[in-house]
């Protein structure tokens, strides 16, 4: 079936010339879709209605390319869509007809150009984001709460001694903001702690020689660094089931948390010494944490300023 599409930019303009050309090309009146809308607008009800009616083997006829495409990108997307749905495309005044060998050649060239254009945009965007992250810029608004404030808010929330409104007022943020920051706690269910680290800094306590973060040393030394010290309120201990360690943006290991809360310890600040297991294997993760949704080797970008967060299980 042959469909025709005509468009003018304003209601004062006439579509008669386009309608006559479409009729001469064999488009029946009931298959003509006439639109009076600016070429810059993305909303085109008549065009959308025509596209919904198209089936494989149908033909779309327009007088000129600019009548159907609001921009180069939009036109290329339409060309790709026609190709994917086996719809022929005919442009009367510019000699494009994909029902002919020469027209199909032009059609495939336009489709390839569309794919190339899309890939260039994606590649440019990804390169720009990577360059910005390398310089410590992640975009968006500044965080409403610093990591220290977030830790304090989490402990206040976990302790159950303050309402959300009281905590929000303390840190001068809205309740919605606080709930979004503490989303892993809303249902009071089990959770995992995600810890972000990098290999560029390896802090060592000058008095005890104890290492923090990524040690690059044996499992015994790394275990000591992995289990201490996290600001976790005692009320949260029974619900913490695992700690996920993300190193340089990649999930490097996942440790389970011992179920016996009597094995937990705290320092004078109230920070916890978490009794964790050896790194879990992929099979152990699947059995022990079936709803975690995080796997070893996953890429998990590190947002600047965020050194840990909770995820619900």
Active site residues: 9
Q: What pairing do the DSSP bridges indicate for beta strands 32-36 and 2-8?
A: parallel
User: Hey, what are 242's tokens?
Assistant: 């695992």
Please tell me the number of Cα atoms within 13 Å of 240 on its side-chain side. Answer: 29
Backbone angles phi and psi of 119, in degrees to 5: -65, -35
Q: What pairing do the DSSP bridges indicate for beta strands 191-197 and 308-312?
A: antiparallel
With the CA atoms of 217, 219, 221 and 227 taken in that order, what torsion angle do they form, in degrees rounded to the nearest 10? 130
Distance CA 272, CA 72 (A): 58
Which residues lie closer than 8 Å to 147 by C-beta, 6 or more apart? Answer: 305, 306, 307, 308
Helix extents (H) in the chain = 16-24, 45-53, 65-68, 72-84, 101-134, 147-159, 164-171, 175-181, 219-227, 282-288
Backbone angles phi and psi of 278, in degrees to 5: -65, 160
Cα-to-chain-centroid distance, residue 254:
23
Distance CA 37, CA 276 (A): 64
The SS3 assignment for 126 reads helix
Backbone angles phi and psi of 71, in degrees to 5: -160, 170
Kindly list the distances between the CA atom of residue 14 and the CA atoms of 7, 20, 35, 76, in Å, as whole numbers in the listed order. Answer: 9, 11, 11, 27
How many angstroms separate the first and last alpha carbons of the chain? 53
């Amino acid at each position: 079936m042959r469909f025709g599409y005509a468009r003018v930019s304003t209601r004062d303009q006439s579509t008669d010339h386009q309608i006559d050309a479409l009729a001469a090309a064999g488009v029946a009146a009931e298959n003509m879709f006439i639109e009076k809308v600016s070429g810059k607008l993305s909303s085109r009800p008549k065009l959308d209605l025509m596209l919904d009616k198209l089936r494989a083997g149908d033909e779309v006829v327009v007088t000129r390319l600019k009548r159907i495409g609001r921009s180069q990108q939009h036109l290329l997307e339409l060309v790709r869509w026609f190709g994917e749905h086996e719809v022929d495309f005919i442009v009367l005044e510019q000699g494009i007809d994909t029902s002919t060998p020469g027209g199909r050649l032009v059609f495939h060239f336009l489709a390839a150009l569309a794919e190339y254009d899309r890939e260039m945009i994606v590649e440019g965007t990804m390169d720009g984001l990577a360059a910005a992250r390398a310089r410590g810029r992640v975009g968006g608004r500044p965080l409403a709460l610093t990591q220290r404030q977030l830790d304090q808010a989490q402990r206040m929330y976990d302790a159950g001694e303050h309402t959300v409104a009281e905590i929000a007022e303390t840190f001068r943020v809205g309740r919605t903001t606080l709930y979004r920051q503490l989303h892993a706690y809303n249902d009071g269910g089990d959770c995992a702690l995600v810890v972000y680290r990098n290999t560029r800094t390896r802090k060592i306590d000058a008095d005890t020689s104890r290492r923090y973060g990524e040690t690059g040393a044996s499992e015994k030394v790394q275990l000591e660094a992995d289990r201490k010290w996290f600001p976790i309120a005692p009320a949260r201990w029974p619900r913490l089931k695992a700690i996920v360690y993300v190193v340089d943006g990649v999930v490097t290991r996942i440790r389970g948390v011992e179920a016996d809360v009597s094995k937990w310890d705290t320092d004078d600040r109230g920070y916890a010494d978490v009794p964790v297991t050896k790194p879990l294997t992929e099979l152990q993760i699947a059995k022990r944490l079936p709803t975690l949704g995080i796997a070893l080797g996953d890429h998990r970008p590190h947002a600047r300023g965020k050194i840990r967060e909770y995820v619900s299980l």
